[in-house]
Chains A and B, each alone.
Chain A
Amino acid sequence: MTEMLSFAFMQRALLSALLVGIAAPAVGIYLVQRRQAIMGDGIGHVALTGVALGFLLSTNPVWMAVLVSSIGAVVMELIRWYGKARGDLALAMLFYGGMAGGVMIINLAPNGSNANLTTYLFGSVTTVAASDIVAIVCLSVFVLAVSLGLRRQLFAICQDEEFARVTGLPVRLLNLLLAVTAAVTVTVAMRVVGLLLVSALMVIPVAAAQQATRGFAATLGLSVGFGVLVTLSGTVTSYYADVPPGASIVVLAIALFALVTALAAPLARRRGKAVARGEEGGTLVADGEERRQEGAAERPTRV
């Protein structure tokens, strides 16, 4: 373990894995809440065009990907507002346009080939450079400031958008901010898990957490914990087993989901029975059976 930590490339890898493990579920939870879990995947496709543009213009692919995927996310949000009919088709065109644009542009770039894209498509956390780290840290701070600092407002919008508008919140602005934040998260995570797998890290920790939780705040906390757990353990696994980190992180996340689901099912059953029985457990003393029946029949609420 200490040997692993003595390598600078592993220090950078673990730091970026940690940041992505926190940021991806913290943003993903809002997309899951709004049933837009697949949006991260779409942004990932669009980000590919940004990466390729970075190569073509000889600038940093990460910043270019931030720019292009943010534009893509804003366009998706606008389609959601205005394009009521066949919005899914418009989104599909955006997704595949982004993918095709990336492949086309990278081949126009000097010395460019699809091989350059592979590290971005599947992630390559062990090749994160010192200059990348600065970008990753800055972008992660932005993502966490939005997703945690505005959690009440974003929760209200994703829970009931119409009601949020009536409370006077600037719903459109917050929706655009959330879209841009999701785009930034995708670009931060692309070096760790890759653009094709980034959505998994935004969605699976949330899906796993909500098997065991009853509220939003608890789900947010637990999913961030799960995110950190799988990104760090996945990165370490790839160091020892020599497998791509992105793939091992996603496989670990799915295994964690299966484990939590298996453990949570009996828990939920017991809890359900307790709720059905009412909470008069404390007052059930001598003639408990009788009172329980009475309570079930006459008292739908615990007044």
Chain B
Amino acid sequence: MRKAQAPAGAQDSEPAIAGAPAPGAGAETDAQTAPAVSLRRAYATLGGRPVLRGVDLTVGPGETVALLGANGSGKSTTVKAVLGQVPLTGGELELFGTPLARFRQWRRLGYVPQRSTAAAGVPATVREVVSAGRLARRRFRPLSAADKAAVRRALELVGMADRAKDPVDALSGGQHQRVLIARALASDPELLIMDEPLAGVDVVSQEVLARTLREQVAQGSSVLLVLHELGPLAPLIDRAVVLRDGRVERVDNPDQLHDLACHPHGSVPQREGAAKIETGLSMGEPTPGARV
């Protein structure tokens, strides 16, 4: 929290970027392919309180965008608005070039919610939970052999294939997070949306998450992540959008952002900060910002 608020004070050196947040968000739109997410001047309220106050956010094809900001800055609400779960009171949202009201291709989205600790009242196995992700493609038809293969593949991607028959309640936080990621990957999405995927996740699972993301990006998927800090994901982020009080405060390239996230007061020795980005994924030696 402390860190995420800090960029406000630390941004004096980049007036050009901070001064024009709205158009900056859409700058990288590919002219030929529609962006996966195009959110323009979005306003939303929760319980009568304005939470989003003119947010612009674009995720281009194959782009990985991180949403950063303090608690209450509107990160999660932005994600829920993109998913159509929080209605916009103003502004526009297009998914893959289609306005939300007409958007029906939900299978193109893979959503990884913030991991909740509240368990359901009935036990469920890892495979059963991941199979639910396949419903985006099957809807009311029975699951075919291809669907079961997709579920198995998703479990293998996150290294949980051997736990398929275990109840989800028996998993650790990091393993549970990997199951939720597999559930999102089961529908072979083109856009992966993750809300705080690193929260309460052990180092091994963080590495698995980073590797999975890298594979998805290599296949051309777009990714939208809500993060508290970049941690081991820093090398994967193309662009980071910092929210503050429901507005886009700044749009940064990840190099500067990594420094800001790890060393909010600008005290980082530049050389060290840069080196950490390159080696951020080495096993067993995560970046210092990963779990601070």
Contacts and interface: CB of A to CB of B under 8 A. Distances in A.
B128 A167 contact: no
A9 interface: no
B128 A163 contact: no
A166 interface: yes
Given A156-B132, A215-B125, A219-B122, A166 B143 contact: no
For chain B, which range describes its interface: under 10, 10 to 19, 20 to 34, or 35 or more residues? 35 or more
Contacts of A215: 123-125, 127-128, 165, 167
A175 to B, nearest CB: 15
Contacts of B204: 300-301
B172 interface: yes
B121 interface: yes
A152 B160 contact: no
Given A152-B132, A303-B159, A35 B121 contact: yes
B123 A210 contact: yes
A27 to B, nearest CB: 13
Nearest to A216: B124
A33 B135 contact: no
Contact of B135 (A32, A37, A167, A303): A167
Interface stretch (B105-113, B226-234, B265-273): B105-113
Interface residues of A, number: 36
A111 to B, nearest CB: 44
A171 B127 CA distance: 22
Given A302-B162, A303-B159, A214 B132 contact: no
B120 interface: yes
B175 interface: yes
A219 B123 contact: yes
Interface in B253-268: none
Given A275-B170, A301-B175, A160 B113 contact: yes
Nearest to A302: B162
Contact of B159 (A34, A162, A279, A301): A301
Given A163-B113, A210-B122, A279-B162, 13 more contacts: A150-B140, A156-B132, A158-B122, A160-B132, A162-B113, A164-B135, A166-B109, A166-B111, A168-B106, A215-B124, A216-B122, A216-B123, A301-B163
19 contacts: A29-B122, A35-B120, A37-B121, A156-B135, A163-B113, A163-B133, A167-B135, A167-B187, A168-B106, A168-B107, A168-B136, A206-B122, A210-B122, A214-B165, A215-B125, A216-B125, A300-B204, A301-B162, A301-B175
